[in-house]
Structure 1
């Protein structure tokens, strides 16, 4: 446990020094600001530049703000996260620091779990900061808006983000190159997306947590629709982390 705590402290300090934390906070903060502002003022800007089409633009709503939020975070936000942390082990391989730390008594499971935990902490702080800003500005612009399941929808997307990190962690353990780890995550994500298109498995894929958030807010789907994908996401995350630890214990560095 002491080794895990020491290594995760080392990881967090390193993520501050290499600007990962700053980049994550900055980008997600921008998403939090841009989502409601973009939804609120884009129709007005379009009317100014294209007055002939003014009637084609409907008045923005709180749902438009959240639509921007989920679109930005699930695409650009998670993509940035994956790119930034894809080298979490490849950089250690290149510098040869893992052998030094392991020969000094650091347990192998602590390496994998601390790498994942540091990335998860940074993602969690960045994500909920972005959500809080979006929530505040959306409530300011549309104070009378009442959307159901806002926090549940946000929590579902957050859990999906942690699942992506667990898949990436397994990729980093299996492959030494950051690009290959990203490719591994992409393949797994595509497979999950294809499962949602198959009639037998439709409604069970974890990609629902990323793709149907707005439907949950609009009332088109109920919370129960998210139950199985949510449970599967948690099971997948824990299973892949355990698998990552097991493989890393057997891996030659």
Structure 2
């Protein structure tokens, strides 16, 4: 445990030196600010563009607070996931290719400590950035639109945060199997896109798929509450993440030894 903690602090320090603790929270905050500000000022933006017929009136009904928050989450789902994958795609594969992993993985450093310290440090940065982005969006939604109740907001934050945790765990898994960071990133994005596509095509049969998490946020924000299907989906996602975390050190060790 002490070794894992030392390695985790090393990962956090390295992220700070690479300015990840600066640019990643800023990126998520900008994502969080974009949707409420754009939705509120969209009519003014269109009017300022000009080139409209004389007498034309732009009448765009204002979106609801829930719709704006869902748009923010969609922004995270597209660009936020891409930022995470690109930011951490070499978390293990990069060190394997450079030989750093072989230098670190000597006694008394275990493969478990090496893998789990990287996972914990990366998730700490991701969740910090994600929470700051969501809080900035929530603040401006409450300022410019109707208020979103804190219970609904924090439940939504936890639900989508579990999807980001799944993405990071999946990326760690693929990064431990290959030496090319690009392959790890491509595999993670491909699996998430395919999983989302299949779940969207078969929503009833795959209602407990991790990619269905964002769809349950709409139910929470609309006041339908936390359903049993959402509970099962969260539990299944946690179990999949734990399974990947259990097998990742074993597969990584096998790759290193061969």
TM, length-normalised to structure 2: 0.88
8 Å contact kept, 1:148–1:219: no
8 Å contact kept, 2:28–2:130: yes
Distance 2:252 2:221 in 1: 41
Name the residue aligned to 1:205.
209
**Equivalent position to 1:214, from 204, 218, 222:** 218
SS of 1:105's equivalent in the other structure is coil
Distance 1:196 1:143 in 2: 30
8 Å contact kept, 1:66–1:214: no
The CA deviation string for residues 174-233 of structure 1, in whole angstroms up to 9 with x for no partner, is 111111112221332244231452366231211111344335423478533422221111
Gaps of 5+ in 1: none
Gaps of 5+ in 2: none
Distance 1:123 1:172 in 2: 17
SS of 1:251's equivalent in the other structure is helix
8 Å contact kept, 2:138–2:148: no
**Equivalent position to 2:74, from 71, 75, 86:** 71
Name the residue aligned to 1:188.
191
User: What is the root-mean-square deviation in Å for CA atoms of aligned residues?
Assistant: 2.3
Name the residue aligned to 1:16.
16
8 Å contact kept, 1:160–1:206: yes
Change (3 A) 1:172 1:36: same
Distance 1:117 1:144 in 2: 33
TM, length-normalised to structure 1: 0.89
8 Å contact kept, 2:64–2:146: no
